[in-house]
């Protein structure tokens, strides 16, 4: 499988043979498992306090030998625990049960529950290889919603000067020369404020993913590209299934530097 090396002006410089990883069969189910494994590893255990909803004086008295005012059965009232904050127990309000105000939660989350999706090392490696191969298939890239011109030859591989770009406008110029800036604009237009309480919990915006730039040395281009909506920069050593297939869907639009392809 052959591919062109492009200059930062978008012109063909030479042709190279792609690594064997680009010939890997695309396994969408395996990629999904690998992405879910990464996402589940980030989950923090959440649970409730063991005494939540029960920190009160509520008591249910089912003993028939008690006087009427001190028992909660056979008195024509709901047979439920009541607070002991009145002279007689029947005067107190119902508490400590699920249907009462401030009561316990039914089946509340348990912090001891194991939420991790586990995957074998070889499966994880194969999933990354499969996701790399998917990024070179134009039909999968278009299926993800990326804007790419008809007849474009994937993957996009650029000379080493790609890694030396230091200005955001230089990265924009590069993307416009290969007709990929429209995809960044698409991601920018899709950014919107989330509905619901997530706005108050560190996830105010819903955002789309755009171009992934894979390089051998990300020190300079990272600062140049980080302000572009949906654009991610990653060192080839740190590639994973989630970066290549956000939301478990393979076929992310990816740009490679020549050194990244050599490292593969």
> pLDDT by residue for the chain (264 residues), tens digit each?
899 999 999 999 999 999 999 999 999 999 999 999 999 999 999 999 989 999 999 999 989 898 888 888 888 889 999 999 888 888 899 999 999 999 999 999 999 999 999 999 999 999 999 999 999 999 999 999 999 988 889 999 999 999 999 999 999 999 999 999 999 999 999 999 999 999 999 999 999 999 999 999 988 999 999 999 999 999 999 999 999 999 999 999 999 999 999 999
Q: Residue 35: which H helix or E strand, with range? A: helix 28-41
DSSP 162: G
Architecture of the CATH domain 2-28+115-263: 3-Layer(aba) Sandwich (3.40)
Domain extents for the chain?
Answer: 2-28+115-263, 44-114
Could you give phi then psi for residue 256, rounded to 5 degrees? -120, 145
% of the chain exceeding 70 in pLDDT: 100
Cα 252 to Cα 254: distance, rounded to the nearest angstrom: 6
CB 233 within 8 A of CB 257: no
Distance of CA 20 to the CA centre of its chain: 29
pLDDT score, position 101: 93
Full-model pTM: 0.84
């Amino acid at each position: 499988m052959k591919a062109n090396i492009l200059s930062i002006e978008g012109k063909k410089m030479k042709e190279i043979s792609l690594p064997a990883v680009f010939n890997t069969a695309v396994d969408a189910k395996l990629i999904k498992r690998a992405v879910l494994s990464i996402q589940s590893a980030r989950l923090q255990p959440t649970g409730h306090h063991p005494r939540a909803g029960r920190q009160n004086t509520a008591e249910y008295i089912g003993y028939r030998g008690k006087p009427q005012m001190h028992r909660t059965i056979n008195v024509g009232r709901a047979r439920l625990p009541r607070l002991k904050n009145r002279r007689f127990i029947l005067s107190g309000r119902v508490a400590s049960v699920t249907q009462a105000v401030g009561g316990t939660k039914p089946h509340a989350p348990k912090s001891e529950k194991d939420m991790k999706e586990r995957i074998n090392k070889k499966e994880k490696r194969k999933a990354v290889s499969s996701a790399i191969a998917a990024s070179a298939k134009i039909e999968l890239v278009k299926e993800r919603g990326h804007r790419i011109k008809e007849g474009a030859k994937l993957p996009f591989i650029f000379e080493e000067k790609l890694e030396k770009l230091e200005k955001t406008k230089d990265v924009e110029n590069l993307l416009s020369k290969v007709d990929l800036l429209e995809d960044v604009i698409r991601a920018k237009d899709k950014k919107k404020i989330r509905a619901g309480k997530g706005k108050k919990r560190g996830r105010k915006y819903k955002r789309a993913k755009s171009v992934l730039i894979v390089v051998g040395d990300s020190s300079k281009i990272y600062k140049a590209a980080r302000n572009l909506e949906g654009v991610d920069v990653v060192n080839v050593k740190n590639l994973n299934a989630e970066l290549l297939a956000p939301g478990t869907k393979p076929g992310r639009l990816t740009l490679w530097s020549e050194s990244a392809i050599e490292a593969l």
